[in-house]
Structure 1
Amino acid sequence: MNHLIVYAHPHEGSFNHAILDAAVRGLKESGHEVHVRDLYKLGFNPVLSAEDTAQMREGNVPADIKTEQEYLKNADVITFIYPIWWTGLPAILKGYVDRTFSYGFAYQYNAEGGIDKLFSGKKGILINTYGTPGDVYESIGMNASLKQTSDGGIFEFCGIEVIEHFLFGGVTTVASDADRKNMLAQVEEKYKSL
């Protein structure tokens, strides 16, 4: 299977990077093809401009968007790995979605007024970290909200079937080294099992 991992964290030594390593290791041990798009290393421009939309309406997709869309098109499984900042996606990842999950590529409206989900048949995994203890986010409904906006509002809206959404809370505040090792083991095992 062809796996695309879209990774959004600016620090090489972050726990998110350890998660990325665990995912890649699990996939490679199972013989899968893996492509990692590290948005910060790529210097991906997250700003959807008027020029971008004008070009796309004319059928001329800007080169940087076209490159990413090729990875998305060829992927059987798409993973997003990112920290939760201000209860959402980092700006660079939100901009990636804005620019690459475009109308006519990821979704479109049909003659009956419904939505054609152009990524149907693809699977998706989301992996998030945040500093707030996990039980706090769970008790106030934030975990459910994160799943609704990311799983439903992005992946499922385009037809991607979400097969797992890891929400790792308290990573920088209350989680112990043993807790973090357990989180990494969960990630690696999930990818080995695909």
Structure 2
Amino acid sequence: MHVLIVVAHHDPRSLTHGLALHVAEGLCQAGPGNSYEIADLSAQGFDPRFTAADHGLYHGQMPTPADVAAEQARIDRADALVLVFPVYWWSMPALLKGWIDRVFAKGWAFDFSADYALVKKLGRLPVHLLGVAGADQDTYERHGYAAAMKTQIDHGIFDFCGAPVLTSELVLESETQDPTAHLRAAHTLGRHLFSAAHEPAATA
């Protein structure tokens, strides 16, 4: 089984990158045939800006931009998609949001039928979300941030495309807690990516 792990953080020494690597290690330990690819959006210089070319693609007037086609091909090769990202202002970073804006394009991730009914095209793609958050659980619950993120990301993006979100976790208090438990939980997630039921991905 092959997994695409997408990381949206500029610092390769960050906890975000560490979690991604531990997911990969767990995956490889789960089975000798498992493989992964890490898409480091910052290192590869992915342009998150939605341009006239992307707009033209949406309206069926222009071809898929080359960088978007390359990312779509990466996802097409994968049996699962893992997104690991820091939480900025109670959502994902602009770099990752722009990647989704451009890559999850009409005609590839979703479409509309002749009667304008939504066609979800990513039903084969299980998704795992791992957000790295500085705040504690009480803050997320008291203000409704966690529910808002699930509505926006899990439902608003992935369910819209038909991709089932199997894991949606926040690594809480990431700036104050010992990262060992978080890294261990990411390793566990990697080991169970293709299990019928896996353990929780992260602990607060």
TM-score (structure 1 length as normaliser): 0.92
**Residue aligning to 1:147:** 150
2:191 equivalent in structure 1: 192
Instruction: Supply the distance in 1 between the matched residues of 2:61 and 2:184 (Cα, whole angstroms).
Output: 47
CA distance in 1, matches of 2:40, 2:129: 15
Distance 1:102 1:115, change over 3 A: same
1:3 corresponding residue in structure 2: 3
Give the counterpart letter for 2:174 in structure 1: V
Map 1:72-83; keep pairs closer than 5 Å.
72-83=75-86
Instruction: Decide whether the 8 Å contact of 1:134 with 1:168 is kept in 2.
Output: no
Q: How far apart are residue 138 of structure 1 and its match?
A: 2.0
Report the equivalent of 2:50: 48
Deviation at 1:89, TM superposition (A): 1.3
Q: Secondary structure of 1:104's match? A: coil
Match of 2:109 in 1: 106
Deviations, residues 53-103 of structure 1 (Å, cap 9, x unaligned): 325623521111110010112222111110110111111111101110000
2:65 counterpart letter in structure 1 = P
C-alpha distance in 1, partners of 2:116/2:54? Answer: 26
- 2:12 aligns with 12
SS in 2 for 1:82: strand
Unaligned runs of 5+ in 2: 195-204
Q: Which residue of 2 aligns with 1:67?
A: 70
Structure 1 segments, 4+ long, off by >3 Å, are none
TM-score by length of structure 2 reads 0.88
* Pairwise CA distance, 1:156: 1.4
Q: Secondary structure at 2:84's aligned position in 1?
A: strand
Match of 2:201 in 1: none
Tell me, in whole angstroms, the C-alpha distance in 2 between the residues paired with 1:12 and 1:71: 21
Partners of 2:5 and 2:159 in 1: CA distance: 17
Whichever residue aligns with residue 11 of structure 2, its letter is H
SS in 1 for 2:83: strand
CA RMSD of aligned residues (A): 1.4
Q: Which has the higher helix share?
A: 1
Q: How does 1:93-172 map to 2 (within 5 A)?
A: 93-172=96-175
Distance in 1 between residues matched to 2:91 and 2:65, nearest whole Å: 26
DSSP 3-state at the match of 1:155: helix
> Cα deviation per residue 1:142-166 (whole Å; 9 max; x = unaligned)?
1111111111111111111111111
Percent of aligned pairs sharing the same letter: 30
- What letter corresponds to residue 38 of structure 2 in structure 1? V
